[in-house]
Structure 1
Amino acid sequence: MGRLGVSSSDTQQHLAEVFGVLATLARETGISPERGELVRADRRSEFDYFGLRTPDRRRRVAAGFSFTGQDSASVLAAWDEIWNLAENGDVMFTALDFYRRRISSRSWTPHDSAEFWGTAVGWIERIDNWAHADDLARLYSFALADQPELVFPTLEEWSRSDNEWQRRIAMVSLIHYSGKNAVFLPIEPTLRLLANCAGDRRETVSNALGWVLRELLAVHPDAVLAFLETHATSMPRPAIRRATERLPQPERDRMRASLA
């Protein structure tokens, strides 16, 4: 038996169904095998890819599969097994696409977030590229907003890890998306988590740090500027540039000069 009561035979059928649907979609939309290889190489991923265009893939996922009309626990169990057994990155994306639509909808409840987090917290173990990482972090961000006491301690633990994807996802999960409603957590614990990653010079981590600070700066300018002044000597220059890129130019130039 698979996790959450999904049998291995059911799992193989679900996985084969999704793979077959995406393979057909790739043919119908004129995607060449070379495109899939280019995507894999660009993301430095170990997974295979069809190279599907994101809008095409998401439209097909929205149409549903044979198992997506079941109860929520059974559907989550099926996606969990697909995520953990797939060797194709586009197949893995379908699980993220499915919950991308669900988790930000009005029908999604804090109970749903707790159920989702209890399973999907383990999905991070298969992350090997920024695209999967950031889509998964988007889902985690909504679970965090609904269940902060449940989710935040794990994110904080990941921020202290040496694993680059755990650190990136811990930070990106703090923000829903760029724009008006991006920031939703109190600033103090948010900056405390970011401080754990401030000295990490790996591009995947420092880019995420700068992006999150940029979004926070729009809402909590005094606290974020104080954070930058405190951690500037250890932070990579690209992270500081990204964090301050939306400041008015005179203020941006002054801030960057003072942090140099």
Structure 2
Amino acid sequence: MTTLKINHPQTKKYHSEVVKALTAIGNPAFGKAVQQDRGSKLKHLGIKFPALRRRVKQGFSFYKLPEEQVLEVWDALWKTSPYGDVLFAALEYYLPIVKKQVPKKLWPVVKGWAPRIDNWCHSDGLSAIYSRVLESNQKEVYPQLVEWNQAEGEWLRRMSLVSLIHYSGKNAVFMPLKKVLPLVTNCLDDERYYVQTAVGWVLREMRQVYQSEVIKYLQTHAGRLSAPAFSRAVERLNAKELARLRELRRATK
């Protein structure tokens, strides 16, 4: 089936519909505080995530369109909306879908969403989708993560790491260590905070599956790891091993 292109008047109509619905459940003062806290250039309407999820699930008029056109609408809104909450709505629409099954035509579209990211919350939300697409299609997705990992942008680098894991907990780790550690190592000297916290988080989660290998990695790079990366990497580590790593870190700093 050939997708019918959504034209500008339609995009404008759908955007107005979504913004109107989200504004109705928002809090302008909270939105301003969120925007300032995240350092985002996008306007925020001030919506708590549970309320946003309910509204997205409730639906919009374009949900009646074929799947490919729904994606086309969300793509247009993602790339043009000045509201961060509209981007969050797109993420909340697709996250439940990719947890069940990744649409075949999703990746070519959503990989183009990365350049719009300007804060950690959108970054991690998009990474949650990327991780599901990565698991289903490593051949196409992993090389893109490697490319982003070598880019200069803070958020591209963070996404290249966070996308390697399904958030936290059981079944979070699905990638082999040999594909994860080179991306982590490439970011060890990146001094930006949100890259460093991603480094530590990935190491912590990978440790749950590759305990001895990650401990060895932490020992090897103890003096090179930043404080934010180290503190996250050693979370939930037993006291004896933690003391050993701290001593090694002091000795190699």
Unaligned runs of 5+ in 1: none
Check whether the contact 1:4–1:77 (CA below 8 A) recurs between aligned residues.
no
* Partner Cα distance (2:143, 2:84) in 1: 28
* Partner Cα distance (1:204, 1:145) in 2: 24
Q: What is the match of residue 22 of structure 1?
A: 22
**Paired letter, 1:55:** P
Cα drift, residue 180 of structure 1:
1.0
| 2:105 partner SS | helix
**Paired letter, 2:55:** R
| 2:62 partner SS | coil
Cα drift, residue 4 of structure 1:
6.8
Q: What is the match of residue 229 of structure 2?
A: 239
Q: What is the match of residue 158 of structure 2?
A: 168
* Partner Cα distance (2:87, 2:75) in 1: 10
Check whether the contact 1:200–1:235 (CA below 8 A) recurs between aligned residues.
no
Q: Deviations over 1:42-82 (max 9, x none)?
A: 00000111111110011100111101132111010000000
Number of equivalenced pairs = 248
Taking a change above 3 Å as real, the CA distance of residues 251 and 234 of structure 1, as seen in their structure-2 partners, is: closer
Unaligned runs of 5+ in 2: none
* Partner Cα distance (1:122, 1:170) in 2: 14
Q: Deviations over 1:135-167 (max 9, x none)?
A: 000000000000001000010111111110000
Cα drift, residue 227 of structure 1:
2.0
**Paired letter, 1:161:** A
* Partner Cα distance (1:66, 1:256) in 2: 56
Using the size of structure 1 for normalisation, the TM-score is 0.92
Taking a change above 3 Å as real, the CA distance of residues 4 and 246 of structure 1, as seen in their structure-2 partners, is: farther
* Partner Cα distance (1:104, 1:76) in 2: 16
Q: What is the match of residue 75 of structure 2?
A: 80
Structure 1 runs of 4+ aligned residues shifted over 3 Å read none
- Does 2:124 align with 1:134? yes
Q: What is the match of residue 36 of structure 2?
A: 41
Pick one of 172, 175, 178 that aligns with 1:185: 175
* Partner Cα distance (1:163, 1:230) in 2: 27
* Partner Cα distance (2:132, 2:6) in 1: 26
Q: What is the match of residue 187 of structure 2?
A: 197
- Does 2:119 align with 1:124? no
Q: What is the match of residue 91 of structure 1?
A: 86
Cα drift, residue 202 of structure 1:
0.9
* Partner Cα distance (1:251, 1:235) in 2: 16
- Does 2:143 align with 1:153? yes
RMSD: 1.3
Q: What is the match of residue 64 of structure 1?
A: 59
Check whether the contact 2:32–2:43 (CA below 8 A) recurs between aligned residues.
yes
* Partner Cα distance (1:125, 1:4) in 2: 25
Check whether the contact 2:218–2:245 (CA below 8 A) recurs between aligned residues.
no
* Partner Cα distance (1:18, 1:77) in 2: 15
Check whether the contact 1:232–1:259 (CA below 8 A) recurs between aligned residues.
yes
Pick one of 237, 242, 249 that aligns with 1:252: 242
Taking a change above 3 Å as real, the CA distance of residues 155 and 4 of structure 1, as seen in their structure-2 partners, is: farther
* Partner Cα distance (1:4, 1:136) in 2: 26
Q: Percent identity?
A: 40
Q: What is the match of residue 12 of structure 1?
A: 12
* Partner Cα distance (1:77, 1:150) in 2: 21
My pick for the range that moved more, 168-177 or 66-75, is 66-75
